[in-house]
Amino acid sequence: MFRFVPYVFKSLWGHRARTLLTVSGAAVAMFVFCFVGSVQEGLDRLTSDEDAQRTLIVFQENRFCPTSSRLPEDYARRIAVIPGVKNVMPIQVWTNNCRASLDVVVFNGANPKQLRESRKLTLVSGNWNQFESQRDAAILGRNVAQRRRLAVGDQFSIGDLNVQVAGIFSSPVPAEENLIYTSLAFLQYTRGLDAAGLVTQHEVHLTENADPEDVASTIDEALKAGPVATTTRRKGAFQTSTLSDLVDLIGFAHWLGYASVGLVLALVGTTTVMSVQDRVKEHAVLQTLGVRPGRVFRIVMTESLVQCTLGGLLGMVTAMGLLAWSGLAVGAEGVTIAFRPSWVLAVSAVWISLLVGVLAGVFPAMHASRIRIVEAMRQA
């Protein structure tokens, strides 16, 4: 079979315009599939990891955008004594846009020491001591720094906020890399924010044996008599609810990925059929030279696989490169979904390309291998 590989490539090159269009179409479709898949993976990582299930978010009842949730900071003391609570971290959230956006900027203000203990952040550049000691210092997720072209020592201003970049961090949680962390006091006392003594939410970390649902209901009951009523949910459920509109949109976009696969199947299948019809006489000549129908079948299948695989690899590599380079994320109401490349997505794209190549080529290959020599000569 391998001795016919040069023949296959020569045939494809002989119709290079058609081959190029087919490979390009397959590449675009697989690019869309990978891009949509990365969004779905980002949502799954955000809402289903262990931290999202073992951490509670205490938010103001019937509030959505972070700017509308205003809880007393001293609620942390009352939450900390509830059985099952390991520690409580008050967080002030500020965002430049509560609506869905591809360039949302989210500031989280928290106690630097608590932040260091509760987040698995690794500084890739900068100084953590400067962040802890300097009130207007901030550490940026590497995706934010990449999008905004910021480095350690730069000043960054947006809205009423003006911070100095003290460090750039990476995190095992991709969504974290789209956040900017400052001290809690900085966000509370920045002119124009009017949040002294207030926070957006309390992040509650549970003990190993605590039941999240029981602790959540206990917290809401304990704070019911306070000045502000609360709603407490698991972090994953809170983020899913916050991103509810985006979740529906991502679910729809997931079907777009499947549609892209269908497009590849139709495109490569149509091209292979056209190739077989154009070369009926050529296949007949091969059979007269002793090439058996089974080998003709494999030749046509190889052509289909080559076009689909080349297009799929091109689209996959382009998508992975863009996702790694751009640091894209979509966010709403202070919660972000990171678009990240992954080996799982890359391998899935390759396997799908191979599968589509087989499905697109099998029927044209059967037709080419079954046609009779005399009939083929007449058609030619």
Split at pLDDT 50, 70, 90, the class of 5 is: low
Domain ranges of the chain: 2-46+245-379, 62-228
pLDDT in the model for residue 287: 59
207 DSSP 8-state letter: P
**Which ranges in 279-342 belong to alpha helices (H)?**
280-288, 293-326
pLDDT in the model for residue 218: 92
Summary mean pLDDT of the chain: 81
**For the residues of 5-51, what is the DSSP string, one character each?**
HHHHHHHHHHTHHHHHHHHHHHHHHHHHHHHHHHHHHHHHHHHHSHH
Tokens of 263: 């497009």
| pLDDT tens-digit series, residues 331-361 | 666 677 777 888 888 999 899 888 888 888 8
| pLDDT tens-digit series, residues 62-116 | 877 777 788 999 999 999 999 999 999 999 988 877 666 667 788 999 999 998 8
| pLDDT tens-digit series, residues 246-262 | 666 677 777 777 787 78
239 to each of 9, 65, 235, 298, 331, how far by Cα in Å?
51, 12, 6, 51, 11
Split at pLDDT 50, 70, 90, the class of 202 is: very high
Residue 135 has phi, psi (to 5 degrees) of -65, -40
Helix (H, G, I), strand (E, B) or coil at 329: strand
Tokens of 88: 């409580």
Under 8 Å between Cβ of 342 and 349: no
Residue 181 reports pLDDT greater than 90: yes
42 DSSP 8-state letter: H
Residue 309 reports pLDDT greater than 60: yes
In terms of Cα–Cα distance, which of 339, 252, 319, 321 is closest to 30? 319
The mean-pLDDT minimum among 143-152, 287-296, 348-357 falls in 287-296
